[in-house]
Amino acid sequence: MLISSEDQRLPVVLVIDDDMVSREVIATVLTMSGYTVHTAAGGEDSLEMLDGGSFTPGVILMDTQMPGLSGSALIRELRVRTTAFLYAISASDAPAEVMESADGFLMKPFGPDALQSLLQRHTPEPEPSPIEDLPVVNATTLAQLRSIMKESGVREIFTAIVTDLEKRHALLVAAIENGDSAEIRRIGHAIKGGCGMAGALQAMRIGQLLETRGDKLEYSQTLLAELQAATLNLKRMLDAELSPRIDPAV
C-alpha cells in the first residue's frame, strides 16, 4: 500500500508490520507530516515490493515479531536489497541479534513525537533560496539600457521577459511531469540567455540551475517556486521603477 505526500525532500518510508492497526496509525501520522509511506503486511510482502523496484525507501520501520520471515533473517534480506536506515519496532524487548543488526529501536507504543524525532535525523536541511541575496535586476545594465533608449523601450524589454518567463514556467511544469531532463535543461539555457542579456539576475540564476541540474527532477521541481518568485519580483520592479509614463520629446 502507498500513501503519498507532496514533500519530496523527506525520505520515503517503508513500514513492515503484520498488525493492520499499527501499520495504518504509523502511516497516517507520517503522511500527515509530509512523508510518502509504503506499507507491507509481512516480511515476504516487503521483499516483493523492493524487488519490484517501484520505489526506493530511505527509512524502514520493521516490526520484530511477525509470522513468516521476520527478525534478523528479514533484516539480512532487506540489507541485500536496500541501503535504507532500518529501525526495529516492537511492543517487547527485541532479541539481541535484532538490536545488533538494526540501526535503532522504538518500543511500542510510541507517540508521534518519538517517530518524528527518529525520522528527522534523515531529513536534509532545505537548500537556501538561490535568489535570496541577488538583486532583481543588475543596476549597471538597467542604467545602460536607459542611456540608449526611451523609458518605454526599457519597460517593453522587461515586460517581454516577464511574459516569456510565464510561458516557460508552464513548459517547465510539463517537462518535469514528463521526466524530460533534456527539455528542462533547454528551458534553463533559454532563460539564462535572455535574462542575462537584460540583467535580470534572479531569473538568470534560476535558468543557470535548471541548465546544470535539470537531470535532478526533484530539485527542478523546487525551482518552479523560485522561478515564480523571480518573475513576480520583476513585475514589482516594473511597477516601481518602470511604470508607464510619457517620454520627453527628443
Q: Are residues 145 and 118 in the same domain?
A: no
pLDDT score recorded for residue 18: 94
Q: Are residues 199 and 170 in the same domain?
A: yes
Q: What is the count of structural domains for the chain? A: 2
| Total-model pTM | 0.54
Q: Are residues 180 and 118 in the same domain?
A: no
pLDDT score recorded for residue 10: 80
Residue 195 lies in a domain: yes
pLDDT score recorded for residue 122: 72
Please state whether the peptide bond connecting residue 95 to the residue before it is cis, i.e. omega within 30 degrees of 0. no
Q: Are residues 158 and 68 in the same domain?
A: no
Residue 248 lies in a domain: no
Residue 16 pLDDT > 80, yes or no? Answer: yes
Q: Calculate the CA dihedral of residues 154, 155, 160, 165 and round it to 10 degrees.
A: 100
CA 12, chain centre distance (Å): 12
- For 62, the domain range is 2-122
Q: Which CATH number goes with the domain that contains 206?
A: 1.20.120.160
Assess contact for 231 and 162: CB atoms under 8 A: yes
Q: E strand or H helix at 104, and its extent? A: strand 104-107
Residue 100 lies in a domain: yes
Angle ∠(119,121,124) on CA atoms, nearest 5: 100
- 125-176 pLDDT, tens digit per residue, is 666 889 989 999 999 999 999 999 999 999 999 999 999 999 999 999 999 9
Q: Are residues 6 and 116 in the same domain?
A: yes
Residue 103 lies in a domain: yes
Q: Are residues 78 and 188 in the same domain?
A: no
Q: Are residues 92 and 54 in the same domain?
A: yes
Strand, helix or coil for residue 136: coil
Q: How many residues does the chain have?
A: 250
Distance CA 20, CA 79 (A): 24
Q: Which CATH number goes with the domain that contains 41?
A: 3.40.50.2300
